[in-house]
Amino acid sequence: MNESAPRVIDLGNMTVTLLDGGRLRLDGGAMFGIIPRPLWERQTPADERHRIPLACNCLLVEWRGERDRRVIIETGHGEKYGAKEQAIYAIDPGRWLVSGLARAGVEPESITDVIVTHLHFDHAGGLTRLGGDRVVPTFPNATVHVQRREYDDARCGLGIMTATYRDENLRPLEEAERWNLIEGEPEIAPGIRPLLTPGHTRGHQAVLIRGRDGTVVFPGDVMPTAAHVGAPYNMAYDLFPLDNRESKNRVLRQAANEGWLIVLDHEPNTPVMRAQIEKTWYGLVPAEEPGGVSQS
């Protein structure tokens, strides 16, 4: 994404701005699960430490003629990392959601709502920030929306990667009473609602944004990059791979049939895509140019 001019998707009565929530690198084998390295590395080359580059793409939703409500979807990895973790994950703590917001001319205090797909550190790390010798909410005036099941699992450490549910990302919001724990698929803000997409975690949710002139879906870790479009292309991190496959099928089927734009959370190169039906599965085409990637 262009750091000086964030991309804006015009949905008619509302806009969706792509924000840079940072970059990181994770083990390629873990990111592709059972898929052999010679297959996934064709599209996603690994570095000398076997890590692949990943983005933390976030969204800002605003309504035309309304300045009293601004919604952030996803918060990226945040800034709270020491030298060891910066090296492990190739994180630059100076490059995170707040710096992305600054490029869009938006103050964190103006955000009224935050929606996260789930609470792993690379999605919820930007919920809090360092404030002197304390960790405080990044968006002090915002209500944070997440599925109740996801929150409960995070607080009891359920999952393969229990260390990714970090207390410093969650507790300050408890103390500030900023959580809204939702169940199901209610409308959170005008035109915005979650889609239940279990698999990566039990309480994972995608986010659907319906405007007058179009629809955007943010699948979260159902399909983190364009290279994960294939049916068996799950992560080793997924708690329930078959459930994740069904969630991915649901999102791709609706996106292909209804012409939705898809914004991929970890895709570093072409985060805005469209789905198309290809034989027995689906392919992705970058929204801004012809061509695409597909797997079956």
pTM of the complete model: 0.94
CB 25 within 8 A of CB 90: yes
Cα-Cα-Cα-Cα dihedral sign, residues 47, 235, 249, 10: negative
pLDDT number for residue 80: 96
Q: Which CATH architecture has domain 8-294?
A: 4-Layer Sandwich (3.60)
- Which residue in 59, 49, 53 sits closest to 31, CA to CA? 53
List, in order, residues 6 or more apart from 161 with CB less than 8 Å away. Answer: 120, 237
| Alpha-carbon span 213 to 253, nearest angstrom | 20
Q: Phi and psi for 152 in degrees, rounded to 5?
A: -65, -40
| Segment 87-119, tens digit of pLDDT | 999 999 999 999 999 999 999 999 999 999 999
pLDDT number for residue 2: 43
pLDDT number for residue 159: 61
List, in order, residues 6 or more apart from 152 with CB less than 8 Å away. Answer: 203
| Alpha-carbon span 212 to 11, nearest angstrom | 6
Mean pLDDT of 29-42: 96
pLDDT at 10 over 70: yes
pLDDT number for residue 247: 98
| Alpha-carbon span 58 to 77, nearest angstrom | 11
| Segment 175-223, tens digit of pLDDT | 999 999 999 999 999 999 999 999 999 999 999 999 999 999 999 999 9
Q: Where are the domains of the chain?
A: 8-294
